[in-house]
Amino acid sequence: MRRGLTPLLWTLFSTGGTLAAFLFPVHLFLTGVAFPLGWLEPPRYDFALRLLVHPLTRLYFFLLISLPLFHWAHRFRYTLYDGLKIKHLTLLIVVFTYGVALAGTLAAAYTLLCCVP
Amino acid sequence: MSEPVRYTLYHPKWYRRPVSVWWWLQSWRYAKFVLRELTSLSVAYFAVLALWKVRAITRGPEAYAAFLARLQSPLWVALNALALIFLLYHTITWLNLAPKAMVVRLGGKRVPDRVIQAVNYLLWAAVSAAALWVLERG
pLDDT in tens, chain B (138 residues): 567 777 666 666 666 777 788 888 889 998 999 999 999 999 999 999 999 999 999 999 999 999 999 999 999 999 999 999 999 999 999 999 998 888 888 888 888 999 999 999 999 999 999 999 999 886
User: What is the spatial distance between Cα B1 and Cα A116, in angstroms, rounded to a whole number?
Assistant: 83
Q: Is the ipTM value over 0.90, yes or no?
A: yes
Asked whether residue A87 carries a pLDDT value surpassing 80, the answer given is no
Q: What is the average per-residue pLDDT within A37-41?
A: 95
Task: Encode A82-100: b = buried (16+ Cβ within 10 Å), e = exposed.
Answer: ebeeeeeeeeebbeebbeb
| pLDDT for position B12 | 60
Burial class (CB in 10 A: 0-12, 13-18, 19+), B94: buried
pLDDT tens digits for range A46-74? 999 999 999 999 999 999 999 999 999 99
Q: Which of A110, A33, A51 is nearest to B46 (CA)?
A: A33
- pLDDT tops 80 at residue A23: yes
What is the pLDDT at residue B138? Answer: 62
More confident residue, B18 or A106: A106
Among B34, B51, B80, the residue with its CB nearest the CB of A32 is B80
Q: Out of A29-43, A78-92, B49-63, which region has the weakest mean confidence (pLDDT)?
A: A78-92
Model confidence, pTM: 0.88
Compute the radius of gyration of chain B from its Cα atoms.
24
Query: Chain centroid to CA A57: how far?
Result: 15
**The predicted structure's pLDDT at residue B9:** 63
Listed by number, the residues of chain B in 103-122 with a beta carbon closer than 8 Å to a beta carbon of chain A are none
Residue of A14, A18, A28 to mutate for B, most B C-beta atoms under 10 A: A28
Backbone phi, then psi, for A36, in 5-degree steps? -60, -35
Which of A10, A14, A27 should be substituted to probe chain B, the one whose Cβ sees the most B Cβ atoms within 10 Å? A27
| Mean pLDDT over each residue of chain A, to the nearest integer | 92
How many Å apart are CA A23 and CA A43, to the nearest integer?
A: 18
